[in-house]
Chains A and B, each alone.
Chain A
Amino acid sequence: MEHTSTLERVLRGIALSLIVLFFMFPLFWIFLMSFQTNETILRIPPSLFFEPTLGNYKALITGKLDTAAGSLDIAFMKNLWNSVLLSTSAVVLSLILGVPAAYAFARHKFRGSEDIAFTLLSFRFAPPLLVLLPLTIYFQQLGLADTYVGLIWVYQLICLPLILWIVRGYFEDISADVEYAYRIAGHGWFATFRKIALPLAGPGIAAAGLLAFIFAWNNFVFALVLASADKQPVTVAALAFVTASGIQYGQIAAGIVLSITPTLAIALYAQRYLVEGLSLGAVKG
């Protein structure tokens, strides 16, 4: 492979540039748009040169949108907060439920263990509406409709399989001998789990948590079906925002930028673990 011709290197360069252009351009363009007034956005032909404004972000943060027709209240910050709250709580709950189970599945072969693990995995691939639509009716009866608790519980559908299968892999990678030695010294299983297994699998567990957070944050359909405007995360709220604000394109772009920044930042930070997370632990990066 060493003797690559000049022609090949040029072609490779062109191909790479086109690929980067295709995948980066939309993000770049929306980012630019978020710093423009409606006036410059609507200008034809579009231009890369404009006087940047922070007005769109200011409108979103203060919750006051000044339009030609008057002032409009927007609750985008509330939705952003909903996203933070829902995703964080869902991941924490998932870790509490999933890590001990992952440990049990990794260390003990017991009756039904594989059945539970695979049932959970299969949830990841079943149509979410199949569960969500009947749930809307149950949630009405249980008083869980349009509550954070109800949503966080449903979010387990995405977080739990991910955490369980990735963390299980990390526990399996740790040699059981270390734990055995610690137990021989007279420590109980809980001390062994806490002092040996957890710290060794720690980085993996943290990465699984971050990935589950990304998937929870990016989820759309759960909250669309189960939450009213007041409880909606940004993914659903942004869509409603488009309809409500009509032509405030700059603010929509700013809203999108604010909504995708957290997941992009986490993804860049945890990118080493991304392959493993995306394949539910089947491929190592």
Chain B
Amino acid sequence: MAGATAAPSNAPRKKGGLHISRSALPYVLSLPALLVCIGILIPFVTAVWYSLQRYRLSQPWAQKFNWGQNYLDFLYDSSFWNTLQISLTYAGLTVGIELVFGLSIALLLQKRSTLNNFVSIMLLMPLMTAPALAALMWKLMTNPGFGILSYFASLIGLEDFRWASSPSTALFTVVLVDIWVYTPFIMILLLAGLRSLPTQPFEAAALDGVPRLQQFFRITLPMLLPYILTATLFRLLDSIQQFDIIYAMTQGGPGDRLTVFQVEAYLDFFQSTNIGRSAALLMILWAITFFLSNIFIKNWLRLRERARGTA
């Protein structure tokens, strides 16, 4: 590292190259990325500003700074608590199930074999499908008129199973789509983790006749923990902000059954045109993700250093 940064001062420079002073060089190289950062920080600051205002497009004359009244209003706003509850439930359910499911599949595919590799590549396909389009696919399959899944449901006696259009099963349906799309994410990360674990502890345990279940809880799980943490937090950060699947499937409905943070903020902005409330909702979501991403980045960095062989 130091070798590369120390300029070979006595070496003759070739003519015609780009000449930028050595100390300025890294700044020049990263300037465009910095500008993009600033370009994104400006709307962020604007959002903070909106969230502190009474601001409805339908009443432009009444726009004024209202000292966090939007946030205080949330305390007595039952639809806010509904949003918070449904967002947390959605994130908890999806990530929890995907973790158990993804870890099981990863363990099943752990051994390198042609079949296992083939299956793991196949499982990537849902993950590479745009979530909004995945939701549409499931919408076609759960259509009450001709949907294949509705047909299967009727075969097992659920004659009138209405999937996403019934308040009692809407959450189940979108969680199912989320699981379909994102379980492979956890699976592929944990599979890479499992395959990178050193083999000696397992050989030693096998020699000592340690039961497989105990091997799993005492050796595999602790060694896999950094991967599990990173994958889980990564998913949690995305899942608490889920928009595509829910919006494409039900637009937050039926009623307000699935109005998670971003869907609610979107509807506030474009349907009720209540900009102030929309921005305040997003600020609260941002606070949650900021908290989570700080924990995430610590774990992620540790894993990254390990992968780069610098730790």
Chain A residues positioned under 8 Å from B145 (CB to CB) = 42
Q: Which A residues from 4 to 41 make CB contacts under 8 A with B?
A: 12, 15-16, 19-20, 22-24, 26-27, 29-30, 33, 41
The answer to whether B148 and A29 have CB atoms under 8 Å apart is yes
Chain A residues positioned under 8 Å from B30 (CB to CB) = 100-101, 104-105, 113, 116
Interface centre among B1, B115, B129 (most CB of A within 10 A): B129
Task: Flag whether B204 is at the interface (Cβ < 8 A).
Answer: no
* Contact A101 to B32, CB < 8 A, known contacts A26-B180, A131-B47, A285-B192: yes
* Contact A282 to B26, CB < 8 A, known contacts A97-B33, A101-B32, A188-B19: no
Contact with B along A42-86 (1 / 0, CB 8 A): 111110000000000000000000000000000000000000000
Contact with A along B273-305 (1 / 0, CB 8 A): 001001100110110011011001100110110
Contact with A along B188-213 (1 / 0, CB 8 A): 11001100100000000010000000
The answer to whether A23 and B130 have CB atoms under 8 Å apart is no
The answer to whether B303 and A282 have CB atoms under 8 Å apart is yes
What's the nearest-Cβ distance from chain A to residue B139, in Å? 8
The answer to whether B131 and A279 have CB atoms under 8 Å apart is no
The answer to whether B29 and A103 have CB atoms under 8 Å apart is yes
Bound CA–CA A119/B193 (angstroms): 27
Task: Flag whether A209 is at the interface (Cβ < 8 A).
Answer: no
Q: Which listed residue (A109, A253, A280) contacts B140, Cβ 8 A?
A: A253
Q: Which B residues from 25 to 79 make CB contacts under 8 A with A?
A: 25-27, 29-30, 32-34, 36-37, 39-44, 46-47, 50
Interface size on B, residues (CB 8 A): 109
* Contact A283 to B3, CB < 8 A, known contacts A110-B27, A131-B40: no
The answer to whether B50 and A125 have CB atoms under 8 Å apart is no
Task: Flag whether B114 is at the interface (Cβ < 8 A).
Answer: no
What's the nearest-Cβ distance from chain A to residue B163, in Å? 14
Chain A residues positioned under 8 Å from B32 (CB to CB) = 96-97, 100-101
Bound CA–CA A183/B9 (angstroms): 10
Task: Flag whether B269 is at the interface (Cβ < 8 A).
Answer: yes
Q: Which listed residue (B148, B227, B279, B300) contacts A133, Cβ 8 A?
A: B279
The answer to whether A280 and B26 have CB atoms under 8 Å apart is no
Task: Flag whether A129 is at the interface (Cβ < 8 A).
Answer: yes
Task: Flag whether B90 is at the interface (Cβ < 8 A).
Answer: no
The answer to whether A121 and B297 have CB atoms under 8 Å apart is yes
What's the nearest-Cβ distance from chain B to residue A187, in Å? 6
B interface, by DSSP: helix, strand, loop or mixed?
helix
Chain A residues positioned under 8 Å from B112 (CB to CB) = none
Contact with A along B140-162 (1 / 0, CB 8 A): 11010110100100000000000
Chain A residues positioned under 8 Å from B262 (CB to CB) = 127-129, 221
Interface size on A, residues (CB 8 A): 110
Task: Flag whether A156 is at the interface (Cβ < 8 A).
Answer: yes
Q: Which listed residue (B126, B241, B307, B310) contacts A282, Cβ 8 A?
A: B307
Bound CA–CA A191/B8 (angstroms): 14
The answer to whether B130 and A110 have CB atoms under 8 Å apart is no
Across the interface, name the chain A residue whose C-beta is closest to B244. Answer: A220
The answer to whether B128 and A264 have CB atoms under 8 Å apart is yes
Q: Which listed residue (A27, A133, A225) contacts B126, Cβ 8 A?
A: A27
Chain B residues positioned under 8 Å from A41 (CB to CB) = 146
Bound CA–CA A156/B38 (angstroms): 12
Q: Which listed residue (A16, A191, A280, A284) contacts B196, Cβ 8 A?
A: A284
Q: Which B residues from 109 to 124 make CB contacts under 8 A with A?
A: 111, 115, 119, 121-124
What's the nearest-Cβ distance from chain A to residue B174, in Å? 14
* Contact A282 to B146, CB < 8 A, known contacts A15-B108, A23-B184: no
The answer to whether A108 and B108 have CB atoms under 8 Å apart is no
The answer to whether A30 and B124 have CB atoms under 8 Å apart is no
What's the nearest-Cβ distance from chain B to residue A283, in Å? 5
Chain A residues positioned under 8 Å from B26 (CB to CB) = 104-105, 107-108, 110, 113
What's the nearest-Cβ distance from chain B to residue A12, in Å? 7
* Contact A256 to B132, CB < 8 A, known contacts A19-B119, A100-B32: no
Known contacts A130-B283, A130-B286, A267-B125; 17 additional CB pairs below 8 A are: A12-B108, A23-B183, A46-B146, A125-B237, A125-B289, A128-B262, A130-B43, A172-B308, A180-B4, A184-B11, A188-B17, A221-B247, A239-B248, A259-B130, A259-B133, A275-B192, A281-B304
A-B CB contact pairs (8 Å), 16 listed? A23-B123, A26-B137, A97-B36, A104-B27, A109-B1, A127-B241, A128-B262, A189-B18, A191-B14, A191-B17, A221-B243, A256-B133, A264-B129, A267-B125, A274-B124, A283-B307
Listed in ascending order, the chain B residues whose CB lies under 8 Å from chain A are: 1, 3-5, 7-8, 11-14, 17-20, 22, 25-27, 29-30, 32-34, 36-37, 39-44, 46-47, 50, 105, 108, 111, 115, 119, 121-134, 136-141, 143, 145-146, 148, 151, 180, 183-185, 188-189, 192-193, 196, 206, 227, 230-231, 234, 237, 241, 243-244, 247-248, 261-262, 265-266, 269, 275, 278-279, 282-283, 285-286, 289-290, 292-293, 296-297, 300-301, 303-304, 307-308, 310
A-B interface, 3 closest residue pairs, ranked by CB to CB distance from nearest: A188-B17, A218-B130, A104-B29
